[in-house]
Amino acid sequence: MDVTTDPSAPWLIAGLGNPGPDYAMNRHNVGFMVADLLAGRVGGKFKRAGKAQAQVVEGRIGPPGPLNRRVIVVKPMSFMNLSGGPVNALRDFYKVPVGNIVAVHDELDIDYGTLRLKLGGGDNGHNGLKSMTKVMGSDYHRVRFGIGRPPGRMPVADFVLRDFGSAERKELDYFVDRAADAVECLVIEGLERAQSTYNS
């Protein structure tokens, strides 16, 4: 089901992660990686978003004509467990329907590099989603980037806050690129088409 009601309304794409160089290559920051790539594709550079605790890039994606979409790419700078505040502030500022919000985030219960796109649902213990749902409800889109489960008895918190391993990094650029493609497909062509193309 697509809940997008106004084709002229902008889309807000929120890559979830933690700010600062210590976290940059963490598994938990894959949303930031996808956001960085999308910002480059629309030809913009991140800038501070006024009073909102976030960095934003505004631009357009899609071919000229009715499928061309205005997008705001966002990286909340509040740390993961407070992501909802900045995203909701920008939703209000840009007048974005909740159905035009896309959260890009890491997902433990999916194999590394696998994508799953969906609308709504629970947070599966993800603190960024939990924060977003608390302030705006759950009816936003998600692009879930699989990172797999931690090995052995490693605590989940340790696993997600560690950098991708050397073997994973060999394919990381490809998977991040594919996730950005999936976001673009979702925004331009809708959830059903994006799911059929990228859900693997």
* Catalytic site positions: 28
Separation of alpha carbons 144 and 105, rounded Å? 5
Coil, helix or strand for 116? strand
Separation of alpha carbons 46 and 27, rounded Å? 21
Alpha helices in the chain (DSSP H): 30-41, 84-94, 127-136, 156-160, 166-189, 191-198
> 13, exposed or middle or buried, with CB in 10 Å at 0-12, 13-18, 19+?
buried
Separation of alpha carbons 119 and 43, rounded Å? 28
Which of 90, 127, 82, 89 lies closest to 105, judged by CA? 127
Two tokens, residue 92: 């209000």
The answer to whether 29 touches 35, Cβ cutoff 8 Å, is: no
Separation of alpha carbons 191 and 185, rounded Å? 8
Two tokens, residue 167: 């073997």
